[in-house]
């Protein structure tokens, strides 16, 4: 099996590769060739080095997508994106990367199939940002996509294209509408949702974190571990059970900022909580205020996707996976 991972240097891409390295059969077969791509050259885990080819490529540049698809990968993970805050701040970059690059990938697949039969599986990283207010108390699978951010709009357009290219038989597609991934390891990024991780990750390491929104803000979360599980499950799922509505809301956990902080105090104590500094940011508040807060992901659950049950579990996963079980604070 040939596998292509676009966005392999990002957090989800790296963790996906770690999971594949640890469990070689997780994608449903032996990997003969693994192509890893990002705007900076990714690194393959040692266990995959013998089959991996790592490339620094911007998918939105002319010919980039066609060059990747020329090798006819059987399974493609499209994880690359300009994140929410950056897509809102840089309109042109957001559309170039999140839409133009993705459209080029779909077209490259279609055109490759014109010379000889070719129908790969494409697993696309979408977002619950495709949905926009006003929201019901719980959002079900039938709720329509009316995004209120540029990022959400770009993801929603890609979802429609993915479904249409799948309907036409050019590929087998499935879109994963990710909750906010928390706790994200590493340094803060440009995502408007970044503070949700910052107020947990930084205090756990004994560092101060800024909270730009009110404690009452409610959001939809999943751990990096479960997010990777979504993609590996989607890679092997019987898509006949999914049907034409191939973009799925993923399971997650609905929690307020206050509940996040309470879970942090339970796990790490009051000293960690004291490192959170409240500093309201109207721009961030405006973006986050347009996002969904709670879901009923019935279809995904029926298809076998799973996530955490409480926020303490999410914090403990971060401590185990990123801090070797130790709390710096």
pLDDT average, residue stretch 309-328: 93
* Sign (positive or negative) of CA dihedral 108, 180, 254, 235: positive
* Confidence grade of residue 291 (pLDDT, cut at 50, 70, 90): confident
pLDDT > 70: percent of the chain: 99
- In the predicted model, is pLDDT for residue 153 greater than 70? yes
* Confidence grade of residue 15 (pLDDT, cut at 50, 70, 90): very high
The DSSP annotation for 227-292 comes to: HHHHHHHHHHS-GGGT-S--EEEPP-EEEEHHHHHHHHHHHH-HHHHTTEEE---HHHHHHHHTS-
Tell me how far CA of residue 204 lies from CA of 275, 314, 329, in angstroms. Answer: 9, 13, 5
Nearest to 246 by CA among 160, 304, 127: 160
CA-angle at 277, arms to 273 and 278, nearest 5°? 115
User: Can you give the residue ranges of every domain in the chain?
Assistant: 2-179+223-249
**Residues 156-172 pLDDT 10s:** 999 999 999 999 999 99
CA–CA gap between residue 261 and residue 14 (Å, rounded): 28
CA–CA gap between residue 108 and residue 222 (Å, rounded): 32
Q: Are 68 and 4 in contact (CB under 8 A)?
A: yes
* Residue found under tokens 């963790």: 15
Q: What mean pLDDT, rounded, does the chain reach?
A: 95
User: For 2-179+223-249, CATH number?
Assistant: 3.40.50.720
**Residues 185-242 pLDDT 10s:** 988 776 778 999 999 999 999 999 999 999 999 999 999 999 999 999 999 999 999 9
- SS3 state of residue 172: strand
pLDDT of residue 290: 74
pLDDT of residue 139: 95
- SS3 state of residue 128: helix
Q: How many residues does the chain have?
A: 329
pLDDT of residue 264: 97
* Confidence grade of residue 307 (pLDDT, cut at 50, 70, 90): very high
* Confidence grade of residue 292 (pLDDT, cut at 50, 70, 90): confident
pLDDT > 90: percent of the chain: 88
Give one word for 242, left, alpha or beta, with left for phi > 0 and alpha for psi -120 to 50: alpha
pLDDT of residue 42: 97
Catalytic residue among 95, 118, 151, 165: 151
* Residue found under tokens 């990997």: 31
pLDDT of residue 272: 96
CA–CA gap between residue 329 and residue 327 (Å, rounded): 6
pLDDT of residue 188: 73
The DSSP annotation for 174-208 comes to: EEEEE-EE-SPPSS--S-TTHHHHHHHHHHHTT--
Q: Is 118 considered catalytic here?
A: no
Q: Which residues pair with 122 in a beta bridge?
A: 76, 173
Higher local confidence (pLDDT), 129 or 304: 304
pLDDT of residue 190: 67
**Residues 37-88 pLDDT 10s:** 999 999 999 999 999 999 999 999 999 999 999 999 999 999 999 988 889 8
């Amino acid at each position: 099996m040939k596998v292509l991972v676009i966005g392999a240097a990002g957090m989800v891409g790296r963790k996906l590769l770690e999971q594949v390295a640890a469990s070689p059969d997780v994608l449903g077969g032996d990997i003969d060739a693994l192509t890893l791509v990002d705007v900076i050259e990714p690194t393959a885990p040692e266990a995959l080095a013998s089959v991996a080819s790592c490339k620094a490529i911007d998918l939105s540049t002319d010919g980039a997508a066609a060059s990747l698809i020329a090798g006819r990968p059987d399974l493609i993970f499209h994880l690359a994106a300009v994140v929410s805050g950056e897509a809102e701040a840089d309109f042109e970059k957001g559309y170039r990367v999140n839409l133009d690059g993705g459209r080029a990938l779909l077209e490259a697949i279609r055109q490759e199939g014109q010379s000889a039969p070719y129908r790969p599986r494409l697993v696309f990283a979408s977002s619950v940002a495709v949905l926009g207010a006003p929201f019901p108390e719980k959002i079900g699978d039938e709720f329509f996509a009316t995004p209120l951010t540029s990022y959400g709009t770009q993801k929603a357009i890609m979802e429609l294209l993915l479904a249409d290219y799948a309907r036409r038989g050019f590929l087998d597609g499935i879109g994963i509408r990710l909750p906010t991934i928390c706790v994200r390891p590493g340094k803060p990024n440009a995502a408007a949702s970044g503070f949700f991780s910052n107020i947990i990750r930084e205090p756990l390491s004994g560092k101060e974190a800024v909270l730009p929104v009110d404690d009452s803000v409610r959001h939809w979360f999943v751990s990096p571990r479960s997010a990777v599980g979504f993609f590996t499950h989607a890679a092997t799922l019987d898509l006949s059970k999914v049907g034409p509505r191939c973009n799925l809301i993923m399971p997650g956990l609905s929690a307020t900022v206050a509940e996040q902080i309470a879970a942090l105090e339970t796990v790490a104590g009051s000293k960690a909580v004291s490192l959170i500094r409240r500093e309201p940011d109207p721009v961030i508040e405006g973006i986050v205020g347009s996002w969904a807060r709670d879901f009923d992901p019935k279809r995904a659950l029926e298809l076998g996707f799973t996530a955490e049950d409480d926020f303490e579990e999410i914090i403990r996963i971060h401590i185990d996976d990123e801090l070797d079980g130790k709390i710096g604070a």
